[in-house]
Amino acid sequence: MPRLALYTFGVLKSPLADPAPLTRELHDSGQAVYRTISRHPGYLGHAEAADGARGAHFDLEWGAWGEFAVPAWYDKGRTADTTALAATLSLWTDPHSAFDAIYSGPHREALNRRYDWFERTAHPLYVFWWVSDGVIPTWQDGVSRLEHLHDHDPAPHAFTFHHSFAPDGTPTRIKGTGPKSDQVR
């Protein structure tokens, strides 16, 4: 059965190493969000550095998730002291589960604060695509899909909650998104 891959990418206002209170709040909320989301129905897993290592994203070993990559528009640092990004790569059973997890609980609270931490941008912040059972998406897959979404309209290859597609490429709607808010799942 196909699984849903989700790549998110945001440029931070300050480097991850910045000791300022806002950066600490982002870090602390991220830990709470991952704990909650990892228990959410439909969540299958996310990219984690091998052996739980910490450091600059670019220097870590990500195992089956591949070498860390970022979109071409990221123009900030790439060292432990200068990296100013937040990126995730995860797997879900379906878009409804991802929507419920992202727009509720601690993640919803974090979304409400996103402009405290992240730069506003004209680039998409996330992208979905379907992968075959047993396939682990890579960071480069996520970057390629996000860049494709930026350059083209949503399609089965790269889509969003508002313009989503079933594994067979059929357009679908998720309750609470799109032009009508009363759509069924």
pLDDT of 185 reads: 35
pLDDT of 68 reads: 96
Number of domains in the chain: 1
Is 9 a member of any domain? yes
Whole-structure pTM value: 0.92
Host domain of residue 51: 3-172
pLDDT of 113 reads: 92
The CATH number assigned to the domain holding 94 equals 3.30.70.100
Give the tokens for residue 140.
Answer: 């480069």
Q: Could you report the average pLDDT of every consecutive run of 10 residues in the chain (185 residues)?
A: 97 91 85 90 94 79 96 94 94 96 92 93 96 97 98 96 96 71 36
Is 184 a member of any domain? no
Is 131 a member of any domain? yes
Is 96 a member of any domain? yes
Is 181 a member of any domain? no
Q: What is the DSSP string of 79-144?
A: STTTB-EEEEEEEES-HHHHHHHHTSHHHHHHHHTHHHHB---SS-SEEEEEE-TTPPP-HHHHHH
Is 177 a member of any domain? no
